[in-house]
């Protein structure tokens, strides 16, 4: 596997994992568009490389949210020990635990369908348009009268179910949870922060499961490429989290809708021109990580 391709995909993964533009959609479209056959023709390599990229973004997110992770882990332990939910930190900790369950269940139940049927360029383009518009319209219409301190278990369950919808590449896990958060009345920065925190356990769980496969198959002589992909996704993921939280304090999601529409138009144009086919043959289809964490 080319180290340059690994670095590019690492940057793409880190940049799109937390932005509401679908990382899984981009990781399928980029090799499809540029005909990177080492990935298109090798599903096993693609799957194991996905592990490295997602673990990289997980590291970047954990570094950024290290204090939050410790705070909410302690709050959850305290709540369990006292058998009650008292403080805002305890409510949010339970929201994260409950919100993780739907995505994990949906991912386990529909793994084969996701891998074989949902990762087609034409369908990804449709999802880019539909959920880009949904995000913008919901954001435009809703109030900003709730903050991160108001998040509770019911909110976590609602956003967890929304997160499960992002199993479809092109929907965007962060996009659908941010739209859900805005629908519940949370301000943009709060809904983005909770969305990022909700991603951590699902990415970690998927990474642990897929690492077992990686331990059996190894890197196939691509250790250097995997390492570069890991590092580039970690760095770009950290930067995007920092930048996006700052951006959303003063701006709407309009720019992300526009970006999604442009990408969809490019995909449709490439297909209509006959440069690329609308689908990727099943034997060569780029597999996706089978949890809501990867489908953003």
**pLDDT tens-digit profile of 140-163?**
999 888 999 999 999 999 999 999
Residues 121, 279 contacting (CB under 8 angstroms): yes
Going by C-alpha positions, the residue among 240, 294, 295 that lies closest to residue 64 is 240
Q: 296 is written with which tokens? A: 């953003």
The answer to the question of residue 290 being in a domain is: no
CA-atom Rg of the chain in angstroms: 18
**Axis crossing angle, helix 153-164 with helix 173-183, rounded to the nearest 10:** 140
The pLDDT value given to residue 75: 96
The answer to the question of residue 292 being in a domain is: no
C-alpha 176/C-alpha 180 separation (Å) is: 6
- Comparing 47-56, 184-193, 255-264, which segment has the lowest mean pLDDT? 47-56
The answer to the question of residue 177 being in a domain is: yes
Show the 3-state SS of the chain: CCHHHHHHHHHHHHHHHCCCCCHHHHHHHHHHHHCCHHHHCCHHHHHHHHHHHHHHHHHHHHHHCHHHHHHHHHHHHHHHHHCCCCCHHHHHHHHHHHHHHHHHHHHHHCHHHHHHHCCCHHHHHHHHHHHHHHHHHHHHHCCCCECHHHCCHHHHHHHHHHHHHHHCCCCCHHHHHHHHHHHCCECHHHHHHHHHHHHHHHHHHHHHHHHHHHHHHCCCCCHHHHHHHHHHHHHHHHHHHHHHHHHCCCCCCHHHHHHHHHHHHHHHHHHHCCCCCCCCCHHHCCCCCCCCCCCC
Region 125-130: mean pLDDT is 97
Going by C-alpha positions, the residue among 141, 139, 115 that lies closest to residue 43 is 115
Neighbours of 67 (CB within 10 A): 8
- Chain-centre distance of CA 172, in angstroms? 6
Q: What average pLDDT is seen over the chain?
A: 88
Partners of 186 in the β-ladder? 146
Q: How many residues does the chain have?
A: 296
Q: What residues contact residue 287 under an 8 Å CB cut-off, 6+ apart?
A: 43, 46, 47, 50, 115, 119
Tell me how many domains the chain contains.
1
The answer to the question of residue 125 being in a domain is: yes
Q: Is 6 exposed, middle or buried (0-12, 13-18, 19+ CB in 10 A)?
A: buried
Residues 128, 264 contacting (CB under 8 angstroms): yes
Residues 179, 163 contacting (CB under 8 angstroms): no
Task: State the Cα angle at 263 between 261 and 114, rounded to 5°.
Answer: 100
Residue 81 has pLDDT above 80, yes or no: yes
The answer to the question of residue 20 being in a domain is: yes
The pLDDT value given to residue 285: 44
pLDDT tens figures, 236-267: 999 999 999 999 999 999 999 999 999 999 99
Domain assignment of residue 74, given as a range:
3-284
C-alpha 239/C-alpha 172 separation (Å) is: 19
For residue 291, name the pLDDT band (cuts at 50, 70, 90). very low
The answer to the question of residue 130 being in a domain is: yes
The pLDDT value given to residue 220: 67
The answer to the question of residue 291 being in a domain is: no
Neighbours of 171 (CB within 10 A): 28
The answer to the question of residue 151 being in a domain is: yes
Task: State the Cα angle at 245 between 196 and 91, rounded to 5°.
Answer: 45
């Amino acid at each position: 596997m080319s180290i340059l391709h690994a670095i590019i995909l690492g940057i793409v993964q880190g940049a799109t994992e937390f932005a509401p533009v679908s990382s899984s959609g981009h990781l399928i479209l980029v090799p499809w568009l540029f005909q990177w056959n080492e990935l298109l023709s090798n599903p096993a390599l693609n799957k194991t490389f996905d592990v490295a990229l997602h673990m990289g973004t997980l590291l970047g997110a954990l570094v950024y949210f290290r204090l939050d992770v410790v705070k909410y882990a302690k709050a959850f332990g305290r709540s369990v020990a006292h058998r009650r939910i008292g403080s805002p930190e305890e409510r949010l900790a339970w929201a994260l635990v409950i919100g993780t369950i739907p995505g994990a269940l949906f991912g386990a139940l529909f793994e084969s369908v996701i891998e074989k049927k949902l990762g087609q360029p034409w369908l990804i383009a449709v999802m880019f348009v539909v959920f880009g518009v949904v995000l913008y319209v919901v954001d435009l219409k809703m109030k900003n009268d709730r903050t991160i301190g108001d998040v509770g278990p019911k909110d976590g369950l609602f956003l967890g179910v929304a997160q499960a919808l992002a199993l479809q590449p092109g929907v965007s896990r962060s996009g659908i949870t941010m739209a859900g958060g805005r629908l519940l009345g949370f301000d943009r920065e709060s809904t983005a922060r909770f969305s990022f925190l909700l991603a951590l356990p699902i990415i970690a769980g998927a990474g642990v499961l897929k690492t077992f496969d990686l331990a059996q198959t190894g890197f196939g002589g691509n250790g250097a490429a995997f390492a570069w992909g890991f590092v580039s996704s970690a760095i770009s993921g950290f930067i995007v989290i920092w930048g996006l939280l700052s951006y959303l304090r003063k701006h709407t999601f309009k720019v992300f809708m526009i970006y999604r529409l442009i990408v969809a138009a490019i995909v449709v144009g490439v297909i209509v021109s006959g440069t690329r086919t609308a689908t990727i043959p099943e034997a060569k289809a780029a597999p996706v990580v089978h949890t809501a964490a990867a489908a953003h």
